[in-house]
């Protein structure tokens, strides 16, 4: 069972669980050609077919083809190309 932090507990108490909390990763998929990941913690694997991005809860595995990191800053990461799947591998 997930142990929530104090911020999540406060958000749950005031009924704001659906809103983004500070530091929480946000993954937005625009169609099937552009993926925006906010609050990432770096790339762990990079290739044309698979890109793994470390986030707070584990690793985000993006599979597709002809993918590339279009833009990468300390907070944001934009992946372009044909995206087939986005999987969160939760940290044990």
Partner 1 sequence: MDLWRSLSGVVEVELVCADPENILYRLNSAGIVTYKVQDAGTLCFRCFIKRSDLDRSKRIVQKYGGRVSCVDRKGIYWWLKRLLRRPVLLSGLFLLCFLSFYLPTKVLFIQVEGNETVSSAMIISAAADHGLGFGSSRRAVRSEKLKNALLGSIPKLQWVGVNTYGCRAVISVREREVPQETPQTEGVSSIVASRDGVIQKMTVIKGDPVCQVGKSVTEGQVLISGYTDLGLCIRGEQAEGEVFALTQRSLEVLMPSEGTGRGDMIGSEKKYSLIIGKNRINFFKGSGISDTTCDKMYSEYYLTLPGGYRLPIAIAVEEYGRYHQTSVSIQGSVAQEILERQSAAYLSQIMVAGDVQRRWDHFRPVDGGYCLIGKYACYEMIGISRHEESLSNYEDDRTDR
CB of 26 to partner 1, least distance (A): 16
CB of 88 to partner 1, least distance (A): 18
Q: How far apart are CA 92 and CA 85, in angstroms?
A: 21
Residue 73 interacting with partner 1 (CB under 8 A) = yes
CA dihedral 13, 19, 23, 25 (to 10 degrees): 130
Look-up: residue for tokens 């190309």?
81
Report yes or no: 44 and 60 within 8 Å, Cβ to Cβ. no
Residue 70 interacting with partner 1 (CB under 8 A) = yes
Residues 27-66 that bind partner 1 (CB under 8 A): 41-48
In the list 71, 87, 88, 91, the residue contacting partner 1 (rule: CB under 8 A) is: 71
């Amino acid at each position: 069972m997930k142990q929530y932090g104090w911020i999540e507990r406060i958000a749950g108490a005031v009924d704001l669980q659906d809103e983004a909390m500070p530091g929480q990763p946000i993954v937005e998929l625009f169609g099937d050609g552009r993926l925006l990941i906010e609050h990432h913690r770096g790339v762990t694997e990079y290739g044309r077919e698979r890109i793994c991005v470390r986030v707070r809860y584990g690793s985000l595995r993006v599979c597709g083809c002809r993918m590339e990191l279009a833009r990468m800053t300390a907070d944001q990461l934009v992946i372009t190309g044909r995206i087939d799947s986005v999987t969160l591998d939760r940290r044990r």
